[in-house]
Structure 1
Amino acid sequence: MGHDVDNLLLLLSVVRHGSYAGAGASLGLSHTTVSRRIAAVEKSAGARLLVRAGGVWEPTELGREFIAAAEDIEHTLGSLTSGVGGQGGSVRGVVRALVPEGFGGLVIGEAMRRLGETHPLVRLEMINAARRARANLVGIDFEVVVGRPEVSRNEAFHLADYSLGLYAAPSYLETHQAITEPEQVQEHPLVYFVESMQDVPELTNPVRHLPRMRQSVGATSSMVHVELTRAGAGIGLLPCYMAERAGGLVRLFPDDLTFPVSYWVVSRPDLMRRPAVHAVLDAIRGTVDDMRDELIAAPQGA
């Protein structure tokens, strides 16, 4: 039985890392050993549990049932050991999340600093991307998404509002045609997400208000957008809290060209009841509460 449990947890690790090599490295196992043990689990199940998709291993429909069982085992083991050792009743465990990278760098960074003071045995692993909510939370405990998600089997709650604004580097403004009216912004190149790779409505809608702007540089990272704008590559459509913290940028027409956006959390009820997940989400809530004015970045006098 112990070997079966170990193999289930190994299956879960393969899904989380997307590869045999990643799972093996995290557990100190060779690629050959991981492959052999996964094959044994599939032989016992009488069917494939993993399929290769987009360069990573993902669970089949039956595989998702095995992953759910492995997560239950992991959560149970975590709760049994949460009070063991030299940390008294401190919460412990690994929490995995899918989070937009700008939010992950600034907000999650502060949240984890706070969490380290109260629950030092909680570890967070992040995948960073701004994307729609996923139907199946396989291999992650929660995700932070942009815009209100449409979910059926999972739960979602509003986390925070924030603003997108248009910014330019002083050097850019000094060397290009003067911008004295909001409409004139559209005569300049835009720095923003790659249009063909962005399907989040709250991130694509602002561009529709700027129909004449041609995109000079597209990137999948909002942090890269900030640095490209600071370098003078064009006018950046940026999260205001990131642009203001980066400094060295001029915000253009905040009374006319500010676009509201929102962050939401998606998870399963059973996952949110995990002590480690609950602790991480509490730390994130506390951080966004303290940063609320910075996130909204309302124009002066608004």
Structure 2
Amino acid sequence: MDFFSDVGLLAIGSRLRLLSDRLYDVADATYRDHGVPLQARWFPVLRLLHDKGPLPVGEIAQAVGQTHSAISQLATKLVQRGMLEASADAADGRMRRLSLTPQAVTALREAKPLWHAIREELAARFRAAGIDAWAVLDEFSKILDGSLGDAVRERAKNGKAGGVRVVPFRPELRAHFHRLNADWLRRYFYLEEVDHRVLSNPEQEILAGGGAIFFAEAGGAVVGTCALLQAADGEYELTKMAVDPAAQGLGIGRVLIEAALAEFERRGGRKLFLETNTKLATAIRLYESVGFEHRKLPGAQSHYQRADVYMVWRGRMAT
């Protein structure tokens, strides 16, 4: 689930699809175990026709919240499977009315005890977790109302117009330096002693030693940070890079790196390196794209327990 955690709400549709598929798999396995010739994805249409009697495709689609095309395709499949039969509507010969076949009626009768078992087990698990499933889904449905698309487009337009601004360290931004980095580290690793020390006192640990700290602001919020730590005369480490997950996809990481590179060049630095971990594949690709090359770690070991990748910037001329 690391991918879904990384991208957050951007992947909520995919995450819900994954959960839906898992429920379908459970139901299908239950049907197979009991020799019931049904598939979970047929349930809404078959159960609706069982309860309401023959209906046209359009009414079925409206009732179960699917498109006319999707229901029409499923109906064709179920007719071929012998589960449905189609007949012309008495009031409008151009419209098909769908009804259950005797085979479907028998299968649904056999499935009822299985539905009861599935429903009761899910209910028990939701109660144990303290979740009112339908209340949550109702609230989620309200969020996904018809205005969502327009609101997203407006937010995207405003975000693009506002852009990202990089600013240097100010005392009032100290808490953001700790927040962004601590959240990032806890998401992927844990805070080591060196992290606690640097994040708790960046002025002493980074700035006093000749380093620099940058923050990215977008939409009035601080959404990213990184630092240049002076390791020796003319030698710097690109470190403490973190971007708020809610702001990923805006190119903030690249903007911060470019600001750090510009400051490194302004100072006439001789060497710029960074240390990271192989699990951070997206970050490594970003570093490579701006000119960082993989090198063998000099010395015995990294000062970070989590680091297993060492990279050195090759400079502008080779990019």
**TM-score bin, normalised by smaller chain:** under 0.3
What is the TM-score of this pair, normalised by structure 2?
0.17
Q: Which has the higher helix share?
A: 2
Q: Which has the higher contact order (CA 8 A, sep 6+)?
A: 1
Bigger radius of gyration among the two = 2
Point out the structure with the larger strand share: 1
* TM-score of the pair, normalised by structure 1: 0.18
